[in-house]
Structure formats: structure tokens, C-alpha cells
Amino acid sequence: MTANSAFSVFKEKYSSDIRFWILLFLVIRLYGITDPPLEIAHNWRQVTGDMVARNFYEVDANILYPRLDIGGEKTGITGTEFSVLNYLIYVLSLFFGFHDWFGRLINLIVSSAGVLYFYKLLKFKFDEKFSFTAAIILLTSMWFMFSRKTMPDTFSTSLVIISLYFAFDFFKTSKRSSAILYFVCVTLGVLSKIPAIYLLMILCFPLFDKNVLLKNKLWISFFTVLMLVPVYWWYFSWVPYLVAEFGFEHYYMGTSFANGLHEIATNIQPTLEKFYFDVFKFIGFVVCIAGLFLSILKKEKSVLLIAGVCSFAFAIFMLKAGRNFYHHSYYIVPFVPIMSLFVAYAMGFIKNKMLYMFILVAIVGESIANQQHDFFIKKSEVYKLSLKAIANSVSEPADLIAINGGKNPQLMYFTHRKGWTMEAEQMKEEFYLIDIVNKGCKYLFLDKHTASLASISTKIKYSKVFENEDFIVLSLRN
């Protein structure tokens, strides 16, 4: 086969097949998939999920009792998001032993499926070009990076998108299997992370469509209400119970709407940055805004109504999240599919194929170029992997330790121990150290790379049992 004929085959068979691009980008994101959670962005969020999964494997497999390693002398059991992703890591670990990168792989597979079903869902209402463009934009948006992290954001949103496809398929075909798959996927998706529920506003349209059978509307409504039962029980009954019963609070349940409005209104710049910088970067955002104005100008009801009802629901989530929304970039992840619609709508006005491809490549290229750093581990972070060996050389696995990790549990995760992760100010307080010693803390690990260490290490009067260029370990039992 000549080069020209091979290119022709690719152009005809694969270039417009969304499955090819989803598979291609899945393979690309396999690069570094087995890396430990050492990347700079969101390592803390990943290790908390890995802690839960590892404790299912090593301590207790009861999914109702997730536990972290940073609960001090307590069990570490606390309220978290429902551990769907974490439990899948545990299940794989039963066959292959525990590896924290399992979470990356599971999320990548589910999130890739989410893009495919996003495309298939759009085809119920829009043409091929629109659906293909929107799916490509979603695939290469911030999802490109977050879909390979051990985090539930793209995972949960993908499950809800998949559930919506089966709901619309049920409205069209009345297949019972589609209704059941809707219920299973939407329940697991919303349980995994509750903000993804806002996408269910899309169901308003078929539910008010006279052409949809009433019995099908009733079945989907029933399954939606049924889904809310375990979601409400977990987040508003069981999570508070776990916090009260085991005395350890970790999961952020949001703020009041009034306070959330105040926090966002007084921090407009970082809030807007989540939209214009984090999602697609600048070129994609400009095209997104163009699509918004064009849809208003052309009175494109399909796009405007979907985006309108979903934006209203998402705004409620933003207010409930408050400061956390603009403080953490992953809070915007569930809204990316809606923004992708406006990009696709604007791109639909470009009739020249070369210009269309040029702009699409520019959007995709800028977005991926600004995420590629997340696929590489900085050499400056690798020293943390020595923590487990150090801990094993000076202590027993059951020994409680403290480490100067601040609010980030990453260092504690890599020691494979339980105990306290401390702020610099706490380490300066002699009474705090005495208190944790009385609670059973046996060793204090000090990361020399922490800037504040020099100012406090001389004030800590305990015997040194280990030191190298990266860490000091002090025995607190003398």
C-alpha cells in the first residue's frame, strides 16, 4: 500500500470516527500511567483516594467505612465521597496486589467511555459534525489530564453522561435494559461525586416532550427518585454519622449559599479563571464565547436550553462550594461538557474545511500543550519514594508517626504509616508534641525540603534515629 493510498484509507475510515480518536488519546495517556502520585498538581487529592483503597485492601473491605491514614490515634474512618473508584482499585488489588496506579487506569477507561457516550448522546439531537466536534473538544479539554488521575471528577461525570445516553435510548426504544443501565450508571456516578447530578437537568426536555411515551417518562422519573435515596442517605445521613461516631472530619460538605455567594462575588477573577483558563485555555474559550453569542443571535434553542438549565443547576453547586470552587480547578470539571457545546456550535459556522481543521488543531494543541507537564514526574519529587524504606528501617508498620507534611497527606501516604501530618506552627508548640506522644505517636519524620524546617528543627529535643540528605527521623519515646 502506498503512502497516498494509506492516507486515503485513514481519511475515509478513521479521521471522522470518534472511536479512533478516543482510542488514540487513551493510548497517549497511558504514558506514565504507572507513575506514583508525585505530580505537582493534585497529588494530595490522589493520595487520599489511594489511602482509602489501600485500607480496603489491608485493613477492612467494608465499603461503608472508608478510612484515611491521617486521623492521628483514631481509626481514620471518616465520611468521604462514596468509594466507587476506590473500591474498584481494591477489587483489582485482590488479583494483582495493591498498586496505586490502578486508579489512574480505571478512571482513564471510564472517562474515555464517557466521551464516547457524550458523542452518542449528542447524536440524539444534533448532527454528526456537531457531535464529533464537541466530543473532540471534551476529550482534549482539561479532561485530558484529569481523566488519568485517581480522582472521581471525570469518573463521576462520565458515569452520569453514560446514564443519560441510556435514558434517551429508553425514551426512544423502550428497552428495559436501557432503563436499568440508566439507574445503575446514574446511581454510581452521583454517589461517586454529587456535583455530577446537575447534568440530569437535561432530562427535563424528554420528560416534557409529548412524543415520548408517558410510561417511559414515569419509569425514568421513578429510577431518578430511587437513585436519590442512597445518595441522600450517604451524604446527609451516613457521612455525618461517621464523622460524629469516629471523631474525624475530612470531607467538605460545602458552605451556606449566602456565604458562598459572598466568597465568589469577592473573588470574581479567580472564579472566572476556572472558565477561561483551566477548561480549554484561551483559544478554546474565545471560540466558546463566540458560540454563546452566535447561539443567542441565531436563537438556537437546542443549545441554549440545554446550557441554560444546566448552568442554572451548576450555579447552585458553585454557591454551595464557595471558596473551594475557585481554589480547586477540578471543581469546574463537570461543566466542561456544556462548554464544549458552544465550541462545537461556533465551529459549525466554519464551512471551509482547512480553516475548520486549523482552528480545531489550534484549540486542541494549546489545550494539550498546557497539560503535558502533568505526565512527567519532577526529579525533585522522587526522593519521597524512599519514605517507606526509611520507615521500615526505624519502626514497625503499626507504629503511629507524625510528619511535617502540612495539610498535604502525600508524605504520610508514602511512609505507609498512620498518624499526624503537621503544620510548621504545630511543630513549634511543645504542648502539641507532648499531646501526640501521649496519644501514642512514636516517631517524628522531618522532610528537609520543607522551607520552615530550619527554623524549628533545633527546637525539637528528641533523639535522632535516622538522617540522610532528605529526611530526619526522631524517636519520641525517650
Domain end call among 359, 374, 389? 374
Q: Which three cell numbers stand for residue 347?
A: 465551529
If asked whether residues 198 and 344 sit together in one domain, one would say yes
If asked whether residues 244 and 313 sit together in one domain, one would say yes
Beta partners for 418?
A: 400
Beta partners for 472?
A: 446, 467
Rounded distance, CA 407 to CA 475, Å? Answer: 22
Strands 400-403 and 441-447: parallel
If asked whether residues 334 and 365 sit together in one domain, one would say yes
Domain end call among 350, 374, 398? 374
Which domain covers residue 434, as residue numbers?
379-475
If asked whether residues 341 and 470 sit together in one domain, one would say no
CA dihedral 138, 338, 300, 218 (to 10 degrees): 120
Cβ–Cβ < 8 Å for 42, 36: no
If asked whether residues 303 and 436 sit together in one domain, one would say no
pLDDT at site 452:
65
If asked whether residues 370 and 342 sit together in one domain, one would say yes
If asked whether residues 77 and 201 sit together in one domain, one would say yes
If asked whether residues 213 and 301 sit together in one domain, one would say yes
pLDDT at site 321:
94
If asked whether residues 344 and 462 sit together in one domain, one would say no
How many structural domains compose the chain?
2
pLDDT at site 170:
98
If asked whether residues 356 and 384 sit together in one domain, one would say no
If asked whether residues 198 and 287 sit together in one domain, one would say yes
Q: What is the pTM of this model?
A: 0.94
| Helix/strand/coil (H/E/C) assignment for every residue in the chain | CCHHHHHHHHHHHHCCCHHHHHHHHHHHCCCCCCCCCCCCCCHHHHHHHHHHHHHHHHCCCCCCCCECCCCCCCCCECCCCCCHHHHHHHHHHHHHCCCCCHHHHHHHHHHHHHHHHHHHHHCCCCCHHHHHHHHHHHHHCCHHHHCCCCCCHHHHHHHHHHHHHHHHHHHHHCCHHHHHHHHHHHHHHHHHCHHHHHHHHHHHHHHCCCCCCHHHHHHHHHHHHHHHHHHHHHHHHHHHHHHHHHCCCCCCCCCCHHHHHHHHHCCHHHHHHHHHHHCCCHHHHHHHHHHHHHHHHCCCHHHHHHHHHHHHHHHHHHHHHCHHHHHCHHHHHHHHHHHHHHHHHHHCCCCCHHHHHHHHHHHHHHHHHCCHHHHCCCHHHHHHHHHHHHHHHHCCCCCEEEECCCCCCHHHHHHCCEEEECCHHHHCCHHHHHHHHHCCEEEEEEECCCCCHHHHHHHCCCEEEEECCCEEEEECCC
How far, in whole angstroms, is CA 196 from its chain's centroid?
11
Domain end call among 331, 347, 374? 374
Rounded distance, CA 194 to CA 162, Å? Answer: 16
pLDDT at site 12:
60
User: How do the pLDDT tens digits run along the chain, 478 residues long?
Assistant: 555 555 455 556 667 899 999 999 999 999 999 999 999 989 999 999 999 999 999 999 999 999 999 999 999 999 999 999 999 999 999 999 999 999 999 999 999 999 999 999 999 999 999 999 999 999 999 999 999 999 999 999 999 999 999 999 999 999 999 999 999 999 999 999 999 999 999 999 999 999 999 999 999 999 999 999 999 999 999 999 999 999 999 888 889 999 999 999 999 999 999 998 999 999 999 999 999 999 999 999 999 999 999 999 999 999 999 999 999 999 999 999 999 999 999 999 999 999 999 999 999 999 999 999 999 999 999 999 999 999 999 999 999 999 999 889 999 999 999 999 998 788 777 788 889 999 999 999 999 998 666 555 545 678 999 999 999 999 997 6
Q: Which three cell numbers stand for residue 86?
A: 476506590
If asked whether residues 241 and 144 sit together in one domain, one would say yes
pLDDT at site 336:
97
Backbone angles phi, psi at 259, to 5 degrees: -70, -40
